[in-house]
Amino acid sequence: MRVRSEARRAAIIEEAAALFLETGYERASMNELARRCGGSKATLYGYFASKEELFIAVVRSFATDHLSAAIRVIATEAAHDAPIGKLLMKFAECLLQVVTDDARAIDVYRMVMAEAGRSDVGELFHRSGPSECIAALAEALSDAMQRGELAPFDPYIRARQFTNLTTAEVEIRLYQRHPEPVTVAEIHAMAERAVKMFLCGARAG
């Protein structure tokens, strides 16, 4: 029974993703989703209490769930007291790998950008993954500041600065119809450049 329920939930998320991408968050209706899923609204609400909750599930599934891998990298390196440069390098490579490797994730990002000025979809998106990633990185940066590796500063601002540096070279993919694949070697080089640029401004001394 549990397997069938999980499969049904995954199928609803898949249909909801297609609907959100087609119509946008505000115009998507639970009635239309129920029709596409071949069930009733009552069934949908049995899995998701609201359209907001369903949207968060879609975002986590297709666009931000992979950030958990980047968070695990931070935790692992921090547990081994890795130098901040090594931690940032591994984090950047992990982040770049996931943001360049999934066409559906790019589609969801685009939809969020289009809807952000008209609804709360941007805040929902941020809370569903990116904010957790920033918090984990900020904690690691704060530890590095306490060890004297980095100059004292607001760790949350530093975390946002580093993630923006990391994705700066691939952000253009959001505006391209068919982004070119990115190789492992290119990801490594981009991560290296981001870490070097960041440490030039943030390192103590």
* CATH code: domain of residue 49: 1.10.10.60
Q: Are residues 32 and 131 in the same domain?
A: no
Range of the domain at 48: 2-59
Which residues, including other chains, have CB under 8 Å from residue 21's CB and lie 6 or more apart? 107, 108, 111
Domain termination site, one of 59, 87, 107: 59
Domain count for the chain, please give it.
2
Instruction: For residues 160 and 167, give the distance between their C-alpha atoms in angstroms, rounded to a whole number.
Output: 11
Within this chain, do residues 41 and 67 fall inside the same structural domain, yes or no? no
Name the domain boundary from 59, 82, 107.
59
> In the predicted model, is pLDDT for residue 205 greater than 70?
no
Q: Are residues 120 and 32 in the same domain?
A: no
**Does residue 138 sit in the same domain as residue 42?**
no
197 and 134 together in one domain: yes
Q: Are residues 32 and 103 in the same domain?
A: no
CA nearest neighbour of 62 among 94, 108, 11: 108
Are 27 and 95 part of one and the same domain? Answer: no
Same domain, 78 and 92: yes
Q: Which of 35, 59, 83 is the last residue of a domain?
A: 59
Q: What is this structure's pTM?
A: 0.78
Residue 95 and residue 113 in one domain:
yes
Q: Is the Cβ–Cβ distance between 165 and 89 less than 8 Å? A: no
User: Do 67 and 156 lie in a common domain?
Assistant: yes
Out of 23-27, 71-75, 79-83, 107-111, pick the least confident: 107-111
Tell me if residue 150 falls in helix, strand or coil: strand
Angle at 7 between CA 38 and CA 28, to 5 degrees: 45
Dump pLDDT digits (tens) for 30-87. Answer: 999 999 999 889 989 999 999 988 988 888 887 676 677 788 889 898 888 899 999 9
Same domain (yes/no): 166, 180: yes
Same domain for 196 and 146? yes
Query: Distances in Å between the alpha carbon of 66 and those of 63, 145, 174, 185?
Result: 7, 27, 17, 21
Structure tokens at 40: 């009733």
Give me the mean pLDDT over the 180-202 stretch: 94
Answer yes or no: is pLDDT of 24 > 80. Answer: yes
Question: In the chain, helix, strand, coil percent, each to 5?
Answer: 75, 0, 25
